[in-house]
Amino acid sequence: MSIETKNIIVEKVKTSKIDQVDFDNLAFGSVFTDHMVVCTFKNGEWETPTIMPYQPITLDPSSKIFHYGQSIFEGMKAYKDKDNDIYLFRPLDNFKRLNISAERMCIPQIPEEYFMNSLTTLLQLDKEFIPTKEGSSLYIRPFMFASGNGFHASPANEYKFIIACAPSGAYFSGKVKVLIEEKYSRSANGGVGFAKTGGNYAGQFYPTQLAVAKGYNQVIWTDDSTHEFIEEAGAMNIFIRINDTLITGPTSDRILDGITRKSILEIAKDQGIKTEVRKITVKEVIEAAENGSLKEMFGAGTAAVISPISSFGFRETDYDLPEIENSFNQRLKKIITDIQYNKSEDKFGWRYKVKV
C-alpha cells in the first residue's frame, strides 16, 4: 500500500529485516535499512520523492552513468542519545555541498525541501536501525547519478536522487600508517577535486593499493604540479600539529571543503588552539619530524571523524609520531562526538533534532 505525506510517497516493507542485524558486530556500510529514498529528474523537473523498500536498481546499459561518470554523493550520520532521540550533524552543509557538486558535474540541483523532508521521513521509518552502541551510528549516503540513456557524450536528460542508509560501527580502528605520494595526483587545478564525485575516489584506489603493498594503510596526497605541498590524507582532509599550532591546507579546486574540517577549525578556535589555514610543504613536515616539533597528524572526515596517523613514509624513510597525552586529536574528537550524540551543549548550533 502507498500513502502520500509531506509530498512524499511512502511504500513500506511488508516485513522488516531488523532482526537480521547484529548491532554488536557492525562493519561499516555493509548492512542496510528497510527503506530508501528514490526521486527522478525527468522532463526538466524533479518528480515526487518516493520512499520504498530497499532494493536493486534497474538501469538500461546505455545509461550515461556507465559511460560518462555523472555521479555525486554525500556522507552523513544519524545518532541516538540516551533517550533514543535522533540527531543529525550539520545536515544543511551536506545538502549545500551536494548541490555544489551537482553544479560542477552538470547535474540538476535538488531542492532543499526534497532533500530534508525525504531524509527525515526515511529516518522516522527506519529509526530502529540507528545503533545505540558507543561509537556506532547510522551512516547515510545521499547520491545522484545520470540515469538517462544514450551513447552521445553529453549530459543526461534524466537523473536519480537516492538516499540509502547503513547501521555502522567505527570506520577505522586504531592509528594508521601513511605514505606521502609523489607520482600520482588526486586532482588538479580547474578539475573536480572539490566535488564529491565518484571518479575522484576511483582514481585513488590504484595508488592506495600500491601503498598498501608496501605496508601502509593510506596515502597523503600532494599537489599535482610540484608534489611539494601536503593536501589530503586518503579520502579525508588532513591536519598537522607543529608544536602547538594546528595547520591544514586551504580549500581549492583540488581539496574538498570538509564539514568535519570546518567543525575542527571552529572548535579549535573556541578552545584557544592556534590554527593556521595555509599551504604546508612536505619539506616543512619532514624537518618538523626530524627536530621533534611535529606532534600530531590526523585525517578528518564524516566516516572516521578523526583518524590519528601514527607514522608516515617518504622516499624510503619512515617517521614515527610521538605518543602524546591529551592530544589535540583526542580532545577535538570528543568535543565533536559529544555534540553529535547530544552529550554536551551545542554552542555552535550544529545539532539537528529529527522529529519522530
What number is the average pLDDT over the span 298-310? Answer: 94
Q: Residue 153 has what pLDDT?
A: 97
CA 181 to chain centroid: 22
Q: Which one is the CATH code of 176-339: 3.40.50.10800, 3.40.50.2020, 3.40.190.10, 3.20.10.10?
A: 3.20.10.10
What number is the average pLDDT over the span 91-100? Answer: 98
The domain made up of 2-168 has a fold known as: D-amino Acid Aminotransferase; Chain A, domain 1 (3.30.470)
What number is the average pLDDT over the span 281-286? Answer: 98
Q: What is the pLDDT of residues 256-275, one digit of tens each?
A: 999 999 999 999 999 999 99
What number is the average pLDDT over the span 149-172? Answer: 94
Q: DSSP 3-state assignment of 292?
A: coil
Q: What is the pLDDT of residues 224-259, one digit of tens each?
A: 999 999 999 999 999 999 999 999 999 999 999 999
Q: Residue 2 has what pLDDT?
A: 41
The answer on pLDDT for 5 being more than 90 is no
- Confidence grade of residue 1 (pLDDT, cut at 50, 70, 90): very low
Q: Residue 338 has what pLDDT?
A: 98
Domain boundaries, the chain: 2-168, 176-339
Q: Residue 107 has what pLDDT?
A: 98
Q: Residue 233 has what pLDDT?
A: 93
Mean of pLDDT over the chain: 95
What number is the average pLDDT over the span 292-298? Answer: 97
- Confidence grade of residue 281 (pLDDT, cut at 50, 70, 90): very high
What residue type is 190 in one-letter code?
A: G
What residue type is 214 in one-letter code?
A: K
- The neighbouring-strand residues paired with 167 are 138
Q: What is the pLDDT of residues 163-198, one digit of tens each?
A: 999 999 887 667 799 999 999 999 999 999 999 999
C-alpha cell at 4: 502520500
Helices (H), the chain: 65-68, 91-104, 112-125, 198-213, 259-270, 282-291, 328-340
Q: Residue 172 has what pLDDT?
A: 67
The answer on pLDDT for 6 being more than 80 is no
Q: Residue 4 has what pLDDT?
A: 45
Give whole-number Cα distances, 17 to 6, 22, 113, 247, 273, in Å: 26, 11, 29, 45, 46
Identify which of 303, 272, 50, 36 has the alpha carbon closest to the alpha carbon of residue 168.
303
What number is the average pLDDT over the span 209-221? Answer: 97
- DSSP letter (8 states) at residue 201: H
Q: Residue 175 has what pLDDT?
A: 75
pTM of the entire structure? 0.95
3 CB neighbour count, 10 Å cutoff:
10
- Confidence grade of residue 20 (pLDDT, cut at 50, 70, 90): very high
Q: What is the pLDDT of residues 321-349, one digit of tens each?
A: 999 998 999 999 999 999 999 999 999 99
